[in-house]
A = this chain, B = another copy of it.
């Protein structure tokens, strides 16, 4: 049983400040650290396809909802600012991965959909990502995986409730 980074960080804090209740770090520190490592690992294949993670998330959001989305909806769906979505859409449109269509009724809004190429790109990249993730998770046995997923789900519900988790 080897130690992970967080365990050694916690030990350091305990040495330097023994009164500190470092309990939360064991969970939240690990979550942050896992997320950072995963992003680093998964960004490489995306970059080699010419995409940012944020761009991939945007394309994925359109793909999985299976209908046209407005920029505003995309901003909410991908948890980024409207301005960032605008810039990403321009770039993706220049590369013919998405198309914009104006709304007939309300000329303020636009509708975004994937081009065939955009859709094909997502459908090629997503299985790669999932395969990598599966490989990482193979180090845990099945019960541990199920447990982990459930517990994370409980925590995520807590977090969503505590922060304006307004959601459809």
A residues lining the B interface (CB < 8 Å): 2, 4-9, 12-13, 15-17, 20-28, 30-41, 63-66, 79, 123, 126-127, 130, 133-134, 136-137, 139-140, 144-145, 147-149, 151-160, 162-163, 165, 167-168
Check if B133 sits within 8 Å of A28, measured CB to CB.
yes
Interface of A is mostly: helix
| Chain B residues closer than 8 Å to A6, beta-carbon distance | 153, 156
Q: What is the copy number of this chain in the assembly?
A: 2
- Of A12, A40, A64, chain B has the most CB atoms within 10 Å of the CB of A64
Check if B5 sits within 8 Å of A156, measured CB to CB.
yes
Taking the closest CB of chain B, its distance from the CB of A160, in whole angstroms, is 6
Taking the closest CB of chain B, its distance from the CB of A2, in whole angstroms, is 6
